[in-house]
């Protein structure tokens, strides 16, 4: 039996995530997932790839406010989730250029001092639509938030178990920042999922997720200790020049999902070909 076992959101791109027992599925991802983002003076997004210390910023909701705590020194900042400035600024997420809105100067200053570089915390309101890659779209109208490219990432617990059996030191699922984790089934079977339901909500798996150096950063400390798990994944999860782990997912139906929901796979697609050492 396939069953949803964990749900995560990451309110601020590249900062710590939040584990949930249930979540609302919106048109651009799970509610509050990656609706905020840090940008530099040029409007380019910040991530753990260049700033691994972002991992130690912990996020938590307190009523209608989002609290962000720097686990390194215990300092925190808090702001209303509906708060943002009136003037739009241009920001960049990979190849996408779009409008966003600074939350407030005080919060931006707090992050600037913590990171020792000038940054702004920006927000994506509902009227800003960022389309997903048309090459993998279902209708051409699918949107996402400040994610790397797709609104949902799903990984099977069996896939993580398979990887950890090959590692000298096991890693947690938080290394891979999924939205959904499921139990049951074979390792990496999510690779071939096309149409599937979580509870009553319909999704489509469209593209395996290419992994990067972020997976080598310890999410608890922000330290990059070694080349794992990428080094091991490279030996058996490499397709072309990409290392794949997890499945990117598009949303076909809005609704609510909960931990414990059953998963039904309605159709499958051809598996990726992997280089095996």
Please indicate, yes or no, if residue 123 is contained in any of the structural domains.
yes
For the chain, how many structural domains are there in total? Answer: 2
Choose the final residue of a domain: 114, 129, 144. Answer: 129
Note the pLDDT of residue 277: 44
Same domain, 63 and 191: no
Same domain, 123 and 152: no
Same domain, 152 and 261: yes
Q: How many CA atoms lie within 13 A of 103 on its CB side?
A: 25
Going by pLDDT thresholds of 50, 70 and 90, the confidence category of residue 274 is low
163-184 residue pLDDT tens:
999 999 999 999 999 999 999 9
243-273 residue pLDDT tens:
999 999 999 999 999 999 999 999 998 876 6
Same domain, 71 and 149: no
Range of the domain at 261: 3-28+132-265
Torsion on CA atoms 119, 122, 128, 131, rounded to nearest 10: 60
User: Which CATH number characterizes residue 245's domain?
Assistant: 2.40.33.20
Choose the final residue of a domain: 94, 129, 164. Answer: 129
Same domain, 34 and 7: no
Choose the final residue of a domain: 90, 107, 129. Answer: 129
Please indicate, yes or no, if residue 190 is contained in any of the structural domains.
yes
Please indicate, yes or no, if residue 276 is contained in any of the structural domains.
no
Number of H helices, E strands in the chain: 3, 21
Same domain, 73 and 178: no
Measured CA to CA, the distance from residue 22 to residue 95 in angstroms comes to: 32
């Amino acid at each position: 039996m396939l069953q949803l076992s964990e749900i995560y959101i990451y309110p601020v791109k590249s900062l710590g995530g939040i584990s949930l027992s249930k979540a609302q599925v919106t048109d651009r991802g799970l509610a509050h997932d990656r609706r905020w983002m840090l940008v530099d003076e040029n409007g380019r997004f910040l991530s753990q790839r260049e700033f691994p210390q972002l991992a130690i910023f912990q996020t938590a909701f307190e009523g209608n406010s989002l609290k962000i705590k720097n686990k390194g020194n215990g300092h925190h900042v808090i702001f209303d989730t509906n708060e943002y400035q009136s003037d739009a600024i241009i920001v960049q997420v990979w190849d996408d250029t779009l409008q966003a809105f600074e939350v407030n100067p005080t919060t931006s200053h707090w992050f600037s001092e913590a990171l020792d570089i000038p940054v702004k915390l920006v927000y994506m309101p509902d009227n800003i639509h960022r389309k997903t890659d048309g090459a993998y779209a279902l209708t051409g109208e699918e949107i996402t938030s400040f994610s790397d490219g797709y609104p949902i990432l799903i990984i099977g617990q069996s896939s993580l178990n398979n990887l950890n059996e090959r590692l000298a030191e096991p890693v947690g699922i938080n290394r891979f920042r999924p939205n959904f984790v499921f139990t049951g089934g074979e390792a990496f079977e999510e690779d071939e999922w096309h149409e599937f339901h979580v509870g009553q909500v319909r999704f489509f798996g469209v593209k395996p997720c290419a992994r990067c150096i972020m997976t080598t950063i310890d999410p608890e400390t922000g330290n990059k200790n070694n080349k794992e798990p990428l080094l091991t994944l490279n030996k058996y999860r490499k397709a072309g020049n990409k290392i794949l782990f997890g499945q990117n997912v598009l949303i076909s139906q809005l609704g609510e999902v909960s931990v414990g929901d059953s998963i039904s796979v309605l159709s499958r697609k051809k598996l990726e070909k992997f280089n095996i050492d």
